Amino acid sequence: MDLHAHASSRGYELDSAQQEAVARLEELGRRRRGVYLHGPVGRGKSFLADALFDVLPEPKKRVHFHAFFQELHRRISARLHQRGAVAEAVRELVGRAEVLAFDELHVHDVGDAMLMTRLLEALQDRRVMIIATSNYPPDGLLPDPLHHDRFLPGIALVKELMDTVELNGPNDYRHLHGAPRSRFETGAIVTAAPLPATPVTLDVNGRAITALGTEDERIWFDFGDLCEKPTSTQDYLVLADRFDDWVIVGVPRLRARDREARQRFANVVDVLVDKDVRLTLVSEHALGEIVGGEVRDLARTASRLELINTTG
């Protein structure tokens, strides 16, 4: 198992931090031991995890964490009163795979945390090797201090099933891939995408969500409708599949909003960036003011928003 050669064959030259991580990944791969690869955004976690996945033998399966959880929720809901619903849904989704790779694993919702614990138990029973990337160390999952203790059993399973490997090199490789699809505008008017005249109500996962309007694959939201009402990550996933261009207006200084609104906004950004959906943010405040200050758990969101072109 030579991940260095695998990377070189694809035209990549590993930095020192990546080389150190690769040595550990090769060892764990030979042992068929699970891997939890974490560190700041843009350090090459997904690339290295993919390289490890590629050299492992079949049967195996690579999934995106958001999409996998969306489908897991759907299948469990279809068996709501069936005994062993989680195990059966996992069996259907994982199939014969002996290796399962999750990209961008993070847990913010207490309901997802409970389901994540049961998912890990089911994968443990099936002796599936797990490869996961995350921007959070295991102890940083479900960071909300009000609920963090409810995921301690899940964190214990993460540590039991996977060895933790940190990748925290000095280079942020996101900037090597050109300009992002998204943008940031100051001021009250969206010059590139004028606000529609009539709001619409959308049926998403059985709940009504108000949008300022839609046009083809573009959708406009007010921050309050999207983030200060009981919307969920699953809602954002459904909407991201339906609309490829989002405009969110009235984005406030997040430190002035409650924890739930801040977390929903962070989840929206995560979903849209992960799905490469175009995002335009419109605010009266500079980008640094929106995510600035001592606000818990906004570092990831701030880093992702730094990639948005600033105009105005």
Confidence of residue 207 (pLDDT cuts 50, 70, 90): confident
Query: Can you give the CATH number for the domain in which 190 is found?
Result: 3.40.50
pLDDT digits (tens, 9 = 90+) for 155-191: 999 999 999 999 998 876 665 555 455 566 655 445 5
pLDDT exceeds cutoff 90 at 106: no
pLDDT exceeds cutoff 50 at 87: yes
Co-location of 166 and 25 in the same domain: yes
Co-location of 160 and 211 in the same domain: no
- What Rg, from alpha-carbon coordinates, does the chain have? 20
Length of the chain: 312
Of 158, 173, 188, which closes a domain? 173
pLDDT value, residue 175:
55
Co-location of 269 and 210 in the same domain: yes
Co-location of 69 and 129 in the same domain: yes
Co-location of 158 and 185 in the same domain: no
Co-location of 207 and 79 in the same domain: no
Co-location of 166 and 183 in the same domain: no
Higher pLDDT among residues 136 and 162, named by residue: 162
Of 153, 173, 193, which closes a domain? 173
pLDDT digits (tens, 9 = 90+) for 9-21: 777 788 899 999 9
pLDDT value, residue 310:
42
Co-location of 13 and 146 in the same domain: yes
Which of 173-177, 285-289, 291-295 ranks highest by mean pLDDT?
285-289
Q: Concatenate the DSSP letters of all residues of the chain into one string.
A: --HHHHHHHTT----HHHHHHHHHHHHHHHHT-EEEEE-STTSSHHHHHHHHHHHSPSSEEEEEHHHHHHHHHHHHHTTTTSTTHHHHHHHHHHTT-SEEEEES----SHHHHHHHHHHHHHHHHTT-EEEEEESS-GGGSS--TTTGGGGHHHHHHHHHHEEEEE---S--GGGGG---S-EEEESSS-SSSPPPSS-EEEEETTEEEEESEEETTEEEEEHHHHHSSS--HHHHHHHHHH-SEEEEE----GGGS-HHHHHHHHHHHHHHHHTT-EEEEEESS-HHHHH-SS-TT-HHHHHHHTTSEEE-
**Which residues, in sequence order, are bridge partners of residue 220?**
213, 247
Of 173, 198, 227, which closes a domain? 173
pLDDT digits (tens, 9 = 90+) for 236-258: 888 988 999 899 999 998 888 88
pLDDT value, residue 176:
55
pLDDT value, residue 312:
37
Residue range of the domain that includes 157:
3-173
Query: Can you give the CATH number for the domain in which 66 is found?
Result: 3.40.50.300
pLDDT exceeds cutoff 70 at 305: yes
Whether the Cβ atoms of residue 192 and residue 208 lie closer than 8 Å to each other: no
Q: What pTM was computed for the model?
A: 0.71
Report the alpha-carbon distance of residue 279 to residue 22 in Å, rounded: 34
Co-location of 162 and 195 in the same domain: no
Quick one: 11 exposed, middle or buried, by C-beta within 10 A (0-12, 13-18, 19+)? exposed
* Phi, psi (rounded to 5 degrees) for 158: -55, -45
Number of compact structural domains in the chain: 2
Higher pLDDT among residues 307 and 292, named by residue: 292
* Phi, psi (rounded to 5 degrees) for 269: -60, -45
Higher pLDDT among residues 195 and 151, named by residue: 151
Q: Which residue has the tokens 């295991």?
A: 138
pLDDT exceeds cutoff 90 at 260: no
pLDDT exceeds cutoff 70 at 48: yes
